[in-house]
Structure 1
Amino acid sequence: MRQFLSTLLIVALGVTLTACDRGESGQPDTELPDRQAPIPNPDADSGLPRIQPRPLEQIPEGAFGDKVKRGYQLFVNTQELRGKYVGNALNCVHCHMDAGRRANAAPLWAAYFAYPAYRKKNDKVNSFAERVQGCFTYSTNGAPPPADSPEMIAIAAYAYWLAMGGLMDHFGINGEVPEISDTDLVTGAKREDFPLPVDIARALPVDQRDKLPGRGYPKLDKPARDYSPEKGAEVYTAHCMACHGPDGQGYEAAGVHNLPPLWGKDSYNWGAGMHRVNTAAAFIHENMPLGKGIQLTPQQAWDVAAYINSRERPQDPRFEGDVEALRKRYHNHPGYYGKAVDGKVLGENAFPDFKQMQQEN
Structure 2
Amino acid sequence: MNQHPSSAEQTEREERREFAALQWFAVVVTLIVVISALVIGRQIGEDVQNDAPPLHPARMATNAADAAAPAAGAATTASASAGSSGAAPQPGAQAASSPGPVKKTAFAPPAADQIPEGPMGDVIRQGEQIFLHTGANAKGFVGNTLNCVNCHLDAGRLANSAPLWGAYLSYPAYRSKTKSVSTFSERLRGCFMYSMNGKAPPDGHEVLVALETYSYWMAQGTTVGEKLPGSGYAKLPKPEKAADYARGKAVYEAQCALCHGANGEGQRSGDVQVFPPLWGAQSYNWGAGMADLHNAAGFVKANMPLSRGNTLSDQQAWDVAQFIDSQERPQDPRFTGDVASTRKQFHDTENSLYGTMVNGKLLGQGIR
Pairs within 5 Å for 1:279-290: 279-290=295-306
Residues 115, 210 of structure 1: 8 Å contact kept? no
Residues 269, 316 of structure 1: 8 Å contact kept? yes
Pairs within 5 Å for 1:30-41: none
Residues 59, 68 of structure 1: 8 Å contact kept? yes
Residues 82, 88 of structure 1: 8 Å contact kept? no
Q: Of the candidates 258, 262, 267, which is equivalent to residue 251 of structure 1? A: 267
1:347 match = 364
In structure 1, give the amino acid aligned to 2:298: A
Alignment RMSD (CA, Å): 1.6
1:356 match = none
Q: Does 1:136 align with 2:192?
A: yes
Runs of 4+ in 1 over 3 A off after TM superposition: 45-50
Quote how far apart the aligned CAs of 1:330 are.
Answer: 1.1
Quote how far apart the aligned CAs of 1:80 are.
Answer: 1.3
Instruction: Give the structure with higher Rg (CA).
Output: 2
- Mapped to 2, the partners of 1:81 and 1:343 lie a distance apart of 41
Question: For 1:252, what is the secondary structure of its paired residue?
Answer: strand
- Mapped to 1, the partners of 2:197 and 2:294 lie a distance apart of 20
2:236 match = 220
Residues 129, 137 of structure 2: 8 Å contact kept? no
Please give the per-residue CA displacement for 1:79-117, whole angstroms capped at 9, x wherever unaligned.
Answer: 115650000111111111111001121110111111111
Pairs within 5 Å for 1:130-209: 130-164=186-220, 166-167=221-222, 204=223, 209=225
- Mapped to 1, the partners of 2:288 and 2:102 lie a distance apart of 30
Q: Does 1:316 align with 2:332?
A: yes
More helix by share: 2
Question: For 2:198, what is the secondary structure of its paired residue?
Answer: coil
- Mapped to 2, the partners of 1:72 and 1:224 lie a distance apart of 40
- Mapped to 1, the partners of 2:212 and 2:278 lie a distance apart of 27
2:168 match = 112
Number of equivalences: 267
Q: What TM-score do the two structures reach when normalised by structure 2?
A: 0.70
Q: What TM-score do the two structures reach when normalised by structure 1?
A: 0.71
Please give the per-residue CA displacement for 1:261-285, whole angstroms capped at 9, x wherever unaligned.
Answer: 0000000000111111111001100
Q: Of the candidates 254, 260, 263, which is equivalent to residue 238 of structure 1? A: 254
- Mapped to 2, the partners of 1:112 and 1:47 lie a distance apart of 22
- Mapped to 2, the partners of 1:83 and 1:111 lie a distance apart of 24
Q: Which moved more, 1:48-57 or 1:111-120?
A: 48-57
Q: Which sections of structure 1, spanning at least 5 residues, go unmatched?
A: 1-44, 168-203, 353-361
Counting aligned pairs with the same residue, the percent is 49
Quick one: higher RCO (CA 8 Å, sep 6+), 1 or 2? 1
Quote how far apart the aligned CAs of 1:342 are.
Answer: 2.5
